[in-house]
Amino acid sequence: MKLIREEIESVEFIVESKGGKKQLYIEGVFLQGNIKNRNGRMYPMETLRREVGRYNENHVQAGRALGELGHPDGPTVNLDRVSHKIVSLRESGSNFIGKAKILNTPMGKIASSLVEEGVKLGVSSRGIGSLKMTKEGINVVGDDFMLATAADIVADPSAPDAFVEGIMEGKDWVWDGGILREKFAEKTYREINTLATQKQLDEKKLDLFNNFLNNL
């Protein structure tokens, strides 16, 4: 059984108002079946349908379908890094459309601030299962697949650019909420200043962004 993650960038962050109070949500495709994805993997629809049914019953309907900000190392949801709660997950063709509410947690506040500052974010499903390679070179996910979370919030390819620009400009969201965050912002700023060329900076941006998220 391997830890399997799939990123999807085409999600929307929407603001809904209820009783004069604004709430941020993520909405879009969270899972895709019967198609070879960019990681060379394919999820049979029957496997996803069964697992989404279990996930909806045991997690979404029970109000405990949680996701994190960043890329966790294992299948367990870490409560101290939870940023959102998945409120719906439904089948639409070969896709599963999800909606998640951004929570008022430390990681949820960071996700909200990143969105407000124009950083583009996506989602990444996370689960465990076996893989079987076909003769066409496609890794088919086995029917033992178990979904840990339908969506963690992750950076899409343009996010590290906005993040590095934010660090260099001293954006408030970088500093908000604690000494650890400030310490890593300063460390990142020093690292940026040691990179001699734009090419070096471009190559390092994703590492800088991921290191920052992982050390929040």
**Sequence spans of domains, the chain:** 2-155, 159-214
Out of 83, 112, 124, 125, the active site residue is 124
Out of 71, 94, 113, 158, the active site residue is 71
Predicted pLDDT of residue 156: 60
Active-site annotation holds for 59: no
Predicted pLDDT of residue 117: 80
DSSP 58: I
pTM: 0.73
Q: Which long-range contacts (CB under 8 A, 24 or more apart) does 103-106 make?
A: 106/80, 106/177, 106/216
Q: What is the CA radius of gyration of the chain?
A: 18
Q: Which residues of the chain have pLDDT under 70?
A: 156-190, 192-203, 205-206, 212-216
Predicted pLDDT of residue 158: 42
d(CA 183, CA 216) in angstroms, rounded, equals: 10
Predicted pLDDT of residue 44: 97
State the Cα torsion 156-158-164-170 to the nearest 10°. -90
d(CA 142, CA 127) in angstroms, rounded, equals: 12
